[in-house]
């Protein structure tokens, strides 16, 4: 049981913490400042994030995040399994918005293979993507309020989220980590009961959200804890690569659904909420407004959804319907070939990104003509958003760290891949 | 497309010896350059008033497992002005496994390059803080290389005693 | 544990006191949520108004190990994280139980890779294993009821003369 000395601490992290230009030693720094470890197990770090803070009293001088406590080796896994087999793994990337990740993967593989899903499947995918956005923002708002001190809002937003999980239960059989999309369409058609439940939910979401907002918006403590904390100016936000609601709260009007439209978003009528202050309160308001915009989009999708089939009829690349596999000879052979040898897209590489609730989720796929990708890179929004954390918390106090992390909304399953 | 041709013409005019090749696949434009001038090319693309590629989306690498030019470092950059995405590739050989860092041009590239170093072992010259990103510092291998097995090497990572 | 240390034989008073202590322990299990990844979200869902865990006496999810008796390990445990989990398990006071929630903690789950521990029973003693990826909240409540049954059968003799674990504590001299 000896005193902790310099030799026990990892030298490279310490060097990063003390700053490359200064030549402070550990003992000198410890005379006036304190090194605090906000460890991987913490009630408010949104997962297993480790922060090493250098404090002067209660004010933060420097911060070094340490990631990798949830590194599961996704990119190496993707090189060893076929495109179809990787669909359940994409659920578990950003585990609060599973359907959105499935849609992103399906769009990326379809771009690589050069096929396009039928219109009804695209509309169903848009519907589930927007429902996912509502579910993810509800948890973000709830956990931000819980971190700041308002515990009731968390339980009320989780109650709303349970209604969405019931919809998914009827739609595809799983409440959570549902691998719903397939390459070339969706797994099964949307049943009328599911669509009716969606309509009931959307009709009531405005008043339920107002109820949650009335608890915190006029509250002086909530506003004082978030106003002016963690400010990111427009140039800083672009330089650090922030995307999603964090970028829109700093004044940049950029949304991938408008800039590079995919599926049928160019036919939908919706606004993009933009705030210019760039602090944590602006990020909270952007998320609340986005829930209302998503509700508008879902109403239009329900009105415009056409009838038709939900899986593309291209037997060399898309798994056929099970009924045809059991009754016709060619479909049986195609099913066998696709499951065993893969879909074999042409050689080349593409990058495809969609607007996830957390930011821009991109897949970079390199294909060498085989059934599995040669390289799959996942551009996760939480990883890039977390890079701005040391700069946002400089000069604030320890209790503000919790508020800033809650407003950036990282998910470690995605940041650590 | 006029924008694609404009970019290729500008690059050919300003960097005639570094520009190697271009390719269009499924609507994506990718440009292959020499790794020696990568910082100058990236700053030119960022500061040019017509193009304005101010947003860096992704930095990654590919391992081809061949003997010549084993790795390729890939950059994806985006321009808000034209809503256009460009892909830049630079080959890196295994014997000289280093390339200049672009974190002076875009700060986003800082952590992404650390991840490439962790997974592939490609080191970046003049990087402000080159440490491993995900795996502990004592780990001796680079997992995403093609000669590292998926299930790992037993004994390479320590486990606490029961 | 002071009272139980004095109870050594199996008389009428001893078994009644045993039953009372076991009953009070099983109906107020305070869990320590070691929420690491996706299963942690289902654990949060157990605490919300639809699948109420408060009716079992367990809504007190303290994040400090000193006040808990049940550790629910929810999420994939990697080699880097395993040292942290073991440290927190050592800091919990006796008597303590462990639920391995989900496929990742039971056997490594769908991740057969270089950085994932293939089952936490390689370094922790586990009492109940839960299947599912992620298990539904009803499943977690069923596991909690199994732990309660297990606690209900404990006697005072089980907790006597247990050696203290070797903690890796740094002390200032």
CATH for C72: 3.40.50.12280
- Report pLDDT digits (tens) over B96-130: 888 888 888 888 898 999 999 999 989 898 888 88
Q: Which pTM value belongs to this model? A: 0.90
Asked if B150's CB is within 8 angstroms of C112's CB, the reply is yes
CATH for B49: 3.30.460.80
Segment B23-45 mean pLDDT: 87
Phi-psi label, residue B15: left if phi above 0, alpha if psi -120 to 50, beta otherwise:
beta
The answer to the question of residue C152 being in a domain is no
Task: Note whether B66 contacts A: Cβ–Cβ < 8 A.
Answer: no
pLDDT of the residue at A366 = 92
Rounded to 5°, the CA angle A100-C37-C45 comes to 80
A187/chain C closest Cα distance in angstroms: 19
> Which of the residues in chain A have pLDDT under 50?
1-4, 20-23
Asked if C113's CB is within 8 angstroms of B148's CB, the reply is no
Give the number of domains in chain C: 1
Nearest chain C residue to B157 by CA: give it. C79
Give the number of domains in chain B: 1
Asked if C122's CB is within 8 angstroms of B158's CB, the reply is no
Structural contact between residues A53 and A16, judged by C-beta atoms closer than 8 angstroms: no
Asked if B150's CB is within 8 angstroms of C114's CB, the reply is yes
Asked if A259's CB is within 8 angstroms of B136's CB, the reply is no
Structure tokens at A86: 């990787």
pLDDT of the residue at A8 = 56
pLDDT of the residue at A2 = 42
The answer to the question of residue C155 being in a domain is no
The answer to the question of residue C86 being in a domain is yes
The answer to the question of residue C157 being in a domain is no
Structure tokens at B39: 């910082």
pLDDT of the residue at C173 = 41
Task: Note whether C73 contacts B: Cβ–Cβ < 8 A.
Answer: no
pLDDT of the residue at A106 = 92
Q: Show residues of chain A in contact with B87, CB under 8 Å.
A: 349, 351
pLDDT score of B80 more than 60: yes
Q: Show residues of chain B in contact with A377, CB under 8 Å.
A: 58, 60
pLDDT of the residue at A104 = 93
Q: Show residues of chain C in contact with B136, CB under 8 Å.
A: 79-80
Asked if B106's CB is within 8 angstroms of A73's CB, the reply is no
> Which of the residues in chain C have pLDDT under 50?
171-173
Q: Show residues of chain A in contact with B106, CB under 8 Å.
A: 239, 241
Task: Note whether C83 contacts B: Cβ–Cβ < 8 A.
Answer: yes
The answer to the question of residue C138 being in a domain is yes
pLDDT of the residue at A108 = 92
- Can you give the residue range of the structural domain that contains B58? 2-96
pLDDT of the residue at C172 = 45
Q: How far apart are CA A272 and CA A290, in angstroms?
A: 8
- Can you give the residue range of the structural domain that contains C42? 30-147
pLDDT of the residue at C155 = 76
Structure tokens at A145: 């309020």
- Report pLDDT digits (tens) over A262-302: 888 988 888 899 998 888 999 999 999 999 999 999 999 99
Q: Show residues of chain B in contact with C80, CB under 8 Å.
A: 135-136, 157
Torsion of CA C128, C134, C137, C141, to 10 degrees: 0
Structure tokens at A49: 């994030």
The answer to the question of residue B111 being in a domain is no
Phi, psi of A195 (to 5 degrees): -65, -35
Q: What is the CATH number of domain A74-114+117-311+345-415?
A: 1.10.645.10
- Which helix (H) or strand (E) segment holds residue A327: the answer is helix A322-327
Binned at pLDDT 50, 70 and 90, residue B66 comes out as: confident
Task: Note whether A364 contacts B: Cβ–Cβ < 8 A.
Answer: yes
The answer to the question of residue B75 being in a domain is yes
pLDDT of the residue at A290 = 92
The fraction of chain B above a pLDDT of 70, given in percent, is 99
Domain extents in chain A: 74-114+117-311+345-415, 313-343
pLDDT of the residue at A62 = 85
The answer to the question of residue C14 being in a domain is no
């Amino acid at each position: 049981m000896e005193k902790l000395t310099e030799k026990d601490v990892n030298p490279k992290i310490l060097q990063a913490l003390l700053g490359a230009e200064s030549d402070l030693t550990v003992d000198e720094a410890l005379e006036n400042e304190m090194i605090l470890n906000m460890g991987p197990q913490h009630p408010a770090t949104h997962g297993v994030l480790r922060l090493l803070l250098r404090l002067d009293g209660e004010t933060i001088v420097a911060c070094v995040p340490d990631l990798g406590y949830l590194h599961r080796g996704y990119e190496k896994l993707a090189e060893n399994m076929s495109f179809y087999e990787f669909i359940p793994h994409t659920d578990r990337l950003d585990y609060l918005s599973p359907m959105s990740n499935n849609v992103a993967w399906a769009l990326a593989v379809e771009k690589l293979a050069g096929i396009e899903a039928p219109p009804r499947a695209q509309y169903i995918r848009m519907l589930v993507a927007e429902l996912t956005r509502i579910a993810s923002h509800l948890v973000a708002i709830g956990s931000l309020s819980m971190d700041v001190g308002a515990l009731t809002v968390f339980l009320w937003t989780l109650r709303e989220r349970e209604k969405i999980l019931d919809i998914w239960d009827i739609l595809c059989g799983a409440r959570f980590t549902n691998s719903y999309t397939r390459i070339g369409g969706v797994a099964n058609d949307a049943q009328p009961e599911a669509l009716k439940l969606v309509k009931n939910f959307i009709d009531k979401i405005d008043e339920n959200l107002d109820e949650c907002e009335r608890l915190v918006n006029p509250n002086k403590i909530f506003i004082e804890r978030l106003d002016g904390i963690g400010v990111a100016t427009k140039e800083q936000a672009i330089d650090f690569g922030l995307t999603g609601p964090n970028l829109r709260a700093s004044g940049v009007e950029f949304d991938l659904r408008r800039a590079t439209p995919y599926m049928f978003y160019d036919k939908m009528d919706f606004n993009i909420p933009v705030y210019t202050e760039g602090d944590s309160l602006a990020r909270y308001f952007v998320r609340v407004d986005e829930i209302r915009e998503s509700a508008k989009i879902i109403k239009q999708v329900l009105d415009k959804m056409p009838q038709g089939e939900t899986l593309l009829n291209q037997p060399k690349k898309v798994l056929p319907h099970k009924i045809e596999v059991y009754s016709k000879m060619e479909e049986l052979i195609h099913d066998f070939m696709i499951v065993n040898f893969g879909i074999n897209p042409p050689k080349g590489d593409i990058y495809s990104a969609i607007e996830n609730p957390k930011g821009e989720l991109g897949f970079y796929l390199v294909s060498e003509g085989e059934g599995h990708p040669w390289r799959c890179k996942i551009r996760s929004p939480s990883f890039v958003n977390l890079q701005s954390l040391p700069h946002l918390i400089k000069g604030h106090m320890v209790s503000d760290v919790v508020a800033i992390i809650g407003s950036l909304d990282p998910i470690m399953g995605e940041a650590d891949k | 497309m006029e924008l694609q041709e404009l970019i290729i013409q500008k690059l050919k005019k300003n960097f005639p010896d570094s520009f190697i090749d271009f390719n269009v696949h499924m609507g994506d434009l990718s440009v292959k350059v020499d790794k020696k001038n990568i910082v100058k090319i990236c700053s030119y693309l960022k500061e040019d008033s017509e193009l304005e590629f101010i947003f860096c989306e992704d930095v990654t690498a590919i391992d081809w497992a061949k003997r010549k030019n084993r790795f390729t470092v890939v950059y994806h950059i985006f321009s808000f002005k034209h809503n256009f995405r460009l892909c830049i590739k630079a080959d890196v050989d295994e014997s000289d496994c280093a390339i200049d860092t672009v974190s002076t041009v875009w700060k986003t590239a800082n952590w992404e390059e650390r991840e490439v170093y962790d997974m592939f072992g490609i080191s970046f010259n003049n990087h402000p803080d080159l440490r491993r990103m995900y795996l502990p510092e004592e780990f001796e291998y680079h997992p995403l290389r093609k000669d590292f097995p998926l299930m790992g090497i037993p004994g390479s990572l320590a486990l606490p005693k029961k | 544990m002071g009272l139980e240390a004095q109870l050594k034989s199996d008389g009428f008073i001893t078994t009644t006191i045993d039953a009372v202590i076991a009953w009070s322990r099983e109906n107020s299990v305070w869990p320590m949520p070691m929420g690491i990844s996706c299963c942690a979200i289902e654990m949060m869902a157990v605490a919300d108004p639809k699948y109420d865990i408060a009716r079992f006496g367990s809504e007190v999810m303290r994040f400090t190990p000193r006040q808990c008796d049940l550790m629910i390990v929810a999420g994939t445990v990697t080699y880097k994280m395993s040292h942290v989990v073991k440290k927190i398990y050592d800091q919990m006071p006796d008597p303590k139980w462990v639920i391995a929630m989900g496929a990742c903690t039971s056997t490594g789950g769908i991740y057969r890779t270089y950085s994932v521990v293939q089952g936490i029973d390689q370094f922790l003693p586990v009492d109940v294993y839960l299947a599912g990826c992620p298990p539904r909240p009803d499943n977690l409540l069923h596991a909690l009821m199994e732990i309660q049954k297990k606690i209900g059968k404990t006697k005072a003799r089980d907790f006597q003369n247990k050696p203290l674990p070797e903690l890796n504590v740094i002390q200032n001299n």
